[in-house]
Amino acid sequence: MEENFNEESKSELKPKVKVVNEGAMARGVLLGVLSTILVMVVVLCVTVVVLLKNGYLHISTDGSVYVQSDATTDDSGIGSEVEAKLNAIESVLDSKFYFENVDSEEAAEAIYKAYLSSYGDKYTVYYTAEEYQSLLESTTGTFYGIGATCQKNEDGTIQIVAIIEDSPAEAAGLQAGDKITAVDGQSVLDLDLSTAVSLIKGDKGTDVVLSIIRDSENLEITATRDEINVKTVEYQMMEDNIGYIAISQFDEVTTDQFIDAIEDLEAQGMVGLVIDIRDNPGGVLSTVVDMLEYILPDGLIVYTEDVDGNRTNYSGDDNNELTIPVAVLVNGNSASASEIFAGAVQDYELGAIIGTQTFGKGIVQTIQPLTDGSAIKYTIAKYFTPKGQDIHGVGVTPDIQVELDTESDTDNQLEAGINYIKEQLTNQ
Element (H, E) at 126: strand 125-127
pLDDT at 65: 45
Of 211, 290, 334, 361, which residue is the catalytic one?
A: 361
pLDDT at 82: 66
Is residue 203 part of the annotated active site? The answer reads: no
Closest CA to 368 of 360, 378, 358: 378
Residue 46 CA to residue 71 CA, distance in Å, equals 19
Average pLDDT score, the chain: 83
Which of 9-18, 115-124, 281-290, 380-389 has the lowest average pLDDT? Answer: 9-18
272-313 pLDDT, tens digit per residue, is 999 999 999 998 999 999 999 999 999 999 999 999 999 999
Of 336, 338, 374, 377, which residue is the catalytic one?
A: 336
Residue 350 CA to residue 244 CA, distance in Å, equals 16
Higher pLDDT, 20 or 94: 94
Domain ranges of the chain: 31-118, 143-229, 233-365+372-427
348-365 pLDDT, tens digit per residue, is 999 999 999 999 999 988
CATH architecture for the domain at 143-229: Roll (2.30)
In CATH terms, the superfamily for domain 233-365+372-427 is: 2-enoyl-CoA Hydratase; Chain A, domain 1 (3.90.226.10)
pLDDT at 26: 47
Residue 297 CA to residue 294 CA, distance in Å, equals 8
- Which residues are within 8 A (CB) of 82 and not within 5 positions of it... i.e. 6 or more apart? 47, 50, 51, 54, 56
Is residue 361 part of the annotated active site? The answer reads: yes
Q: DSSP code of 396?
A: P
166-187 pLDDT, tens digit per residue, is 899 999 999 999 999 999 999 9
Higher pLDDT, 199 or 86: 199
How large is the average pLDDT for residues 83-94? Answer: 79
Higher pLDDT, 247 or 46: 247
Which of 67-71, 136-140, 204-208, 405-409 has the lowest average pLDDT? Answer: 67-71
pLDDT at 79: 63
pLDDT at 92: 82
pLDDT at 47: 52
How large is the average pLDDT for residues 410-426? Answer: 97
Buried b (16+ CB within 10 A) or exposed e, 113-143: ebbbebeeeeebbbbbeeebbbeebebebeb
pLDDT at 53: 53
Helices 78-96 and 22-53, axial angle in degrees (round to 10): 150
300-349 pLDDT, tens digit per residue, is 999 999 999 999 999 999 999 999 999 999 999 999 999 999 999 999 99
* pTM of the predicted protein model: 0.70
96-147 pLDDT, tens digit per residue, is 777 776 677 887 888 888 888 888 988 899 999 888 888 887 777 778 899 9
Higher pLDDT, 135 or 376: 376
pLDDT at 240: 97
Q: DSSP code of 379?
A: E
